[in-house]
Structure 1
């Protein structure tokens, strides 16, 4: 995509201003469905998002489901120490082959981090956000964290700054966070009942003393909730991350959802427990299972009537770079950055991002009519579909090259994003990995269709045999528009008796 000229860029505000106001909720946060909120928007109407909040979330890939198709983020790993121990965490500082929080390939100094940010932002003009998420806790390393933010603001003032924390010492640093213009803070809150918390956190280290058990969990939770209230008071957007742990806090997260909403949190992100034994976490070694996709969706659906839900999280590494769902960190190692000729041009970056805004606005207008076509149908049928995409909100990935599938729920109420399914790649180096095909199909066998840009004969036949329709009719077309058109045709086939609608079960993990 070519960036607009300076004259074109100067007129962009007039071109899309009306569109932005009319579609703020849809573009930022998804559509309301069933009386609940599917994303970080509001069911109350397009005027319900204040202009100041809109500016903070419109191009933030973590706070906006729509934005994550178009804008990139990066994390810088400058915070190695942590002040609590979680049974689902095992930090690693030189790891390249694990994609999960708490893992980095390199630990950086604040100066190295600022240099890396300039290099990445110069190469990836759609980068809009820089966050510090570890590999430990940023606020357990306050000097390194805040020095990094200061340096980044000096060299790249157009970037949004983010912070992720367990919240134990968050209340002590609110003033500094506000002073440094950190507008987005994520707190991981897994419980509001210390007895449940004692099963998740073996210990905390608070004010030079180690606490364990219920006492540790109570201190942690009190501080977390205090931090949520203080962030809201200071106008800082707060996202809550919660790890769903079956049999421990799964249903309890409904109470967490209510507690953080009442205290002013903006967005709730429930993520599945990662518990592979090879990661060396306490839960992984004890055999604690993670939730199934069906269990995840049911819990998220239960909470979305209470507050805005995030469903597009990728549980990123602490040094992730690029669009959500991709990791380009290997392109920006310290060794490679030293050799790069970095030229940071704020104006060219703004121009490029303006062109993205124009493209998004045009797609939104084009899709509005298509998304209302099913509204006249009184069917209560809902189906899940999987989509292979490389980003930009398009169906633009080959089935065999997909590393994940994005899953959407289709109904006469519209298109709702419900999550993503990581899979093993089917085509490796030009050869098909037949052993992977079965696991891929099992991971999406709750879906009625899979949308792809291209697919081979063998996987096509296997998908059809499993009851999943491969759809390549809409290659390189917008996801919402294409899935809506397919669903309209699907309902017509059901109503005419050409096919029978059959409910699909929970997929394999």
Structure 2
């Protein structure tokens, strides 16, 4: 099987996305205000998919089954690890499953977590480098749990060969990792690919991979399958180039672009980690996402999940569903599916009512003077789009920006859990210091509760803790705090960090 040349793929005229997508520039994707711009078919596909909808990720769970251990390319940022429970990143799993085990685990999780709406195959290798195992799982779940959305993630090398099977399996969400459209850039990211029974290296390998990715993207879009493009931002290698990647994949009909930071800690054992290649700072990542957003909507709520992740985005309940534990579970598949369907309908009805109320509410113009600068805030949340988590229990913080233009979500940041108990926080000085450093560019932290010690240390670092909006909606709470700061004259001054630098 030979691939079309890269010039043939990229040399075709770029046009607007096909009519089926229901998108216009900047309107595709996840925010509640954007849901109204989608066709009924697209709306149905994304409304309860936590990866494709920023709104849905607060309410719906997903799981990945690790049935695809083999991979046909090598990435300089990847080191697949098996039987590893201490890392949370792509390519890491605790158990590689057979298809039969994966099906049993999926049904067990879906019975225990009725918010689960999506089953994905994302490795730990590549789903389409293990096609027999991947499609066996999909075929069985189509029959036994037809309410669950099916997804796969792929590097795209074998994608054109399997698009028909993907469509036949009712997989209507596919993620392709596309880090470049320039083979010279690709040669710095991919040491080799395995293509037509031989190992190909260097620029030739990158050219084949890019051509296959672009052809596969076009074929999926032509079949009405939603495509999310993942790109790993690697400073000094593809960071500026990703703006062009975003433009090209948007023009070819991709639904969503997810620019993720390179995970480059040396302890993970990747080539980039061991060679000292740094990852981007939060500010660099945000700037690139904002630059790409002019061409298509950006996914900003990605958690770079493990290949065996279970639960809501940002949490991992995989330890509750190891093979030995699910063996003891009795599952009524019909009753479990009925509970899922009913809960999904209830959540979606509630979200639709909230969207309708927002649209019907009178527009309130915030007459903020020019001194009302934007403010970045961190939020501790365990889900449901609420400020509902103790500061010391948070393993991640959601980052928002409030300004006179409103509230926008910027992304999430991982943090080590500081608190060791239900009400008292331990003496985890190093953990607290790392969390404060992670939130250094935020001026406020919203949480449901916080202990005295972290409160005082956050304040000393110029970050104001706020527990006054517990159990309130996140965006409303963030805007309320911004307006309080504006009324108090706090937005006339530069942020504390800038004052310290001055």
Q: Is the shorter-chain TM-score for this pair beyond 0.5, marking a shared fold? A: yes
Distance 1:479 1:243 in 2: 28
Q: Which residue of 2 aligns with 1:439?
A: 434
Distance 1:473 1:113 in 2: 44
Measured after TM superposition, the shift of residue 42 of structure 1 is 10
Q: Which residue of 2 aligns with 1:492?
A: 487
Q: Which residue of 2 aligns with 1:26?
A: none
Measured after TM superposition, the shift of residue 355 of structure 1 is 2.2
Measured after TM superposition, the shift of residue 491 of structure 1 is 1.8
Measured after TM superposition, the shift of residue 295 of structure 1 is 0.5
Unaligned 5+ segments in structure 2 are 1-21
CA contact (8 A) 2:230 2:258 kept: yes
What is the aligned counterpart of 1:353 among 344, 347, 360? 344
TM-score (norm 2): 0.89
Residues 199-214 of structure 1 aligned to structure 2 (within 5 Å): 199-214=188-203
Structure 1 residues 107, 325: closer, same or farther in 2, change over 3 A? Answer: same
Distance 1:268 1:424 in 2: 28
CA contact (8 A) 2:31 2:55 kept: no
Q: Which residue of 1 aligns with 2:383?
A: 391
Measured after TM superposition, the shift of residue 36 of structure 1 is 5.1
Measured after TM superposition, the shift of residue 375 of structure 1 is 3.3
Distance 2:36 2:471 in 1: 33
Structure 1 residues 328, 401: closer, same or farther in 2, change over 3 A? Answer: same
Q: Which residue of 2 aligns with 1:3?
A: none
Residues 328-477 of structure 1 aligned to structure 2 (within 5 Å): 328-344=317-333, 345=335, 346-364=337-355, 373=364, 375-377=366-368, 379=370, 381-429=373-421, 431-477=426-472
CA contact (8 A) 1:268 1:310 kept: yes
CA contact (8 A) 1:190 1:242 kept: yes
Measured after TM superposition, the shift of residue 358 of structure 1 is 3.3
Residues 36-185 of structure 1 aligned to structure 2 (within 5 Å): 39-40=29-30, 48-185=37-174
Measured after TM superposition, the shift of residue 37 of structure 1 is 5.6
CA contact (8 A) 1:129 1:162 kept: yes
TM-score (norm 1): 0.88
Structure 1 residues 415, 368: closer, same or farther in 2, change over 3 A? Answer: farther
Structure 1 residues 472, 202: closer, same or farther in 2, change over 3 A? Answer: same
Query: SS at 1:240's partner residue?
Result: strand
CA contact (8 A) 1:426 1:437 kept: yes
Distance 1:369 1:199 in 2: 51
Distance 1:395 1:374 in 2: 25
CA contact (8 A) 1:58 1:64 kept: yes
Structure 1 residues 54, 152: closer, same or farther in 2, change over 3 A? Answer: same
User: In the alignment, does 2:182 pair up with 1:190?
Assistant: no
CA contact (8 A) 1:42 1:308 kept: no
What are the superposed Cα offsets for residues 141-181 of structure 1, whole Å, 9 maximum, x if unpaired? 00000001011111111000001000001000011100110
Distance 1:91 1:276 in 2: 14
Structure 1 residues 403, 41: closer, same or farther in 2, change over 3 A? Answer: closer
Unaligned 5+ segments in structure 1 are 1-28
Structure 1 residues 149, 38: closer, same or farther in 2, change over 3 A? Answer: closer
CA contact (8 A) 1:80 1:141 kept: yes
Distance 1:262 1:152 in 2: 33
User: In the alignment, does 2:231 pair up with 1:231?
Assistant: no
Structure 1 residues 51, 39: closer, same or farther in 2, change over 3 A? Answer: closer
Q: How many residues align structurally? A: 470
CA contact (8 A) 1:161 1:183 kept: yes
Distance 2:264 2:374 in 1: 31
Measured after TM superposition, the shift of residue 372 of structure 1 is 5.0
User: In the alignment, does 2:279 pair up with 1:290?
Assistant: yes
Structure 1 residues 216, 39: closer, same or farther in 2, change over 3 A? Answer: same
Structure 1 residues 493, 37: closer, same or farther in 2, change over 3 A? Answer: farther
What is the aligned counterpart of 1:265 among 247, 254, 272? 254
